[in-house]
Amino acid sequence: MSADYRRTSLAGWGRTNPSTALTAEVVPSELAEHLKDSSGRGVLVRGLGRSYGDAAQNAGGRVLTLANRAAEAVLDEARHTVTVGAGVSLDELMRLIVPRGFFVPVTPGTRYVTVGGAIASDIHGKNHHVEGSFGNHVERMSLMTASGDIVECAPATNQDLFWATIGGMGLTGVVLDATFRLIPIETSRCIVDTVRCRDFDQLITEMSTGDEDARYSVSWVDLLAAGKNFGRSVLWRGDHARVTDLDSKSASDPLGYSPRHLVTVPPVVPGRGFVNALTSRVFNELWFRKEPIRQSGQIKTIPSYFHPLDSVGAWNRLYGRGGFVQYQFVVPFGAEEVFRRIIERIVASRLASPLVVLKRFGAANEAPLSFPMPGWTLTVDMPADADGLAPLSHSLDELVLSAGGRHYFAKDAHTSAAVVRAGYPRLDEWKATRDKWDPQGVFVSDLARRLELVG
């Protein structure tokens, strides 16, 4: 093996629970040798480290990254598909395809996610309610299994391995490349409608009666507001703008795409960070008030609508040395009263930061460990060293499970194995497939050990 290993401390984007592993960047042609020499603590392949907890860590083992070959992406404009290496990020891919009139089928709130990571986490976005998660759009992929063999997977070819890999958190093998469908677009802008909701009831009504007519829908919720302002929020719905939606200046270069990096948070910030009850309340008040009560047809760029935080480098440092937990769950439609109780507990705790996202999910796909299911999904960031966070999180877990919901592996930093087993009824089916293709348990992670997904 030509790669040089280094002992490296790794953490997720939340900067909690770091662990040390031997790390190296490898090219796919050398990958099989690294798997054979995996040692007793196993191997994991890591993308850009944007999972929030310990999903991309392997304490005492090996963590590999795949050499990036963005230039080798193959765009099939007739079929609206792209074939690309797993180490390529959505950011790099969009810089290639947006100027040619295409957009990725699904994007989360950051474009700094690799294609392999998108598959492993089965990422979802603002369009899940109508177009599903990333795995829904994958036509095929090449996977290196624990034996070093390269296996072709598709919905109708080695389908057990295909669906176990989608949402499987990198524990079934190494995705080498994938082909997936794209969205054809006329412009690099979005046309967005805004509704400012005065309370929780208006928010639920607005989203329940209007989302089906919008390709993209997302809400911000003030989880520090109580009383008559409980659940006040801002809802944005949008779609890709057509050339006829643009002014003359924008229409002269309709597919121009140049995401901007505005500022980077410095490495040294106050120990408790900048996110606290006071700063969060001030931010929430300003954020809510700046939005119109109702507005239609606003034109926004792709970065400003889909990835606003990507303009701020290392924004996770704002929470200070203790880092933060991003708590994400889904509860099914019909459980709105339990959903309200969950939000009430978060509001009462006064621990929520301004970074809160609410979306509606559509139908689930066939992957046993895919997170989305029809229902409401809420994401909230909270300082990891905040007093009362652990008991709050566990009480929220109980409410989520009581409603028939579950938690997202890519965000998790606290959930227990029992909670995961209750939330994912097809877990044993997934384990059987994993054991079939990786009987020696080569692929492993800190998250997998903590949640008893392996072993």
pTM: 0.96
Query: What average pLDDT does the chain have?
Result: 95
Q: Give the confidence band of 3 by pLDDT, cuts at 50, 70, 90.
A: low
Distances (CA, A) of 121 to 22, 52, 118, 341: 23, 12, 5, 28
Task: Read off the pLDDT of each residue in 377-381 and give the average, rounded to a whole number.
Answer: 98
Convert the pLDDT of each residue in 4-41 to its tens digit. 899 999 999 999 999 999 999 999 889 999 998 766 89
* 336-349 helix and 200-210 helix, angle to the nearest 10 degrees: 140
pLDDT surpassing 70 at residue 307: yes
Q: Give the confidence band of 273 by pLDDT, cuts at 50, 70, 90.
A: confident
| CB proximity list for 202: less than 8 A, separation 6 or greater | none
Task: Read off the pLDDT of each residue in 332-336 and give the average, rounded to a whole number.
Answer: 98
- What CA–CA distance (Å, rounded) separates 397 from 407? 8
pLDDT of residue 271: 67
Of 25-29, 88-92, 267-271, which one has max mean pLDDT?
A: 88-92
Residue 87 within any structural domain of the chain: yes
Count of helices and strands (H, E) across the chain: 14, 21
Share of the chain above pLDDT 70, in %: 98
pLDDT surpassing 60 at residue 346: yes
Domain count across the chain: 1
CATH number at residue 131: 3.30.465.10
Residue 307 within any structural domain of the chain: no
pLDDT of residue 161: 98
pLDDT of residue 363: 98
Taking alpha carbons only, the member of 385, 395, 330, 321 closest to residue 357 is: 330
Residue 243 within any structural domain of the chain: no
Task: Read off the pLDDT of each residue in 341-365 and give the average, rounded to a whole number.
Answer: 97
Residue 22 within any structural domain of the chain: no
Taking alpha carbons only, the member of 355, 302, 311 closest to residue 192 is: 302
Instruction: Specify the 3-state DSSP secondary structure of 311.
Output: helix
Convert the pLDDT of each residue in 157-192 to its tens digit. 999 999 999 999 999 999 999 999 999 999 999 999
Strands 19-26 and 62-66, by their bridges, are: parallel
pLDDT of residue 269: 72
Convert the pLDDT of each residue in 184-224 to its tens digit. 999 999 999 999 999 999 999 999 998 989 999 999 999 99
Residue 451 within any structural domain of the chain: no
Convert the pLDDT of each residue in 101-122 to its tens digit. 999 999 999 999 999 999 999 9
pLDDT of residue 230: 97
> Please, are residues 12 and 54 in contact by the beta-carbon 8 Å criterion?
yes
pLDDT of residue 89: 96
Convert the pLDDT of each residue in 46-82 to its tens digit. 999 999 999 999 999 999 999 877 778 999 999 999 9
Q: Token digits for 11?
A: 């953490």
pLDDT of residue 410: 98
- What CA–CA distance (Å, rounded) separates 151 from 137? 19
pLDDT of residue 355: 94
Residue 39 within any structural domain of the chain: no
pLDDT surpassing 70 at residue 2: no
pLDDT of residue 253: 97
Residue 379 within any structural domain of the chain: no
pLDDT of residue 36: 84
Taking alpha carbons only, the member of 329, 376, 375, 327 closest to residue 353 is: 327
Residue 455 within any structural domain of the chain: no
Q: Which domain holds residue 149?
A: 70-185
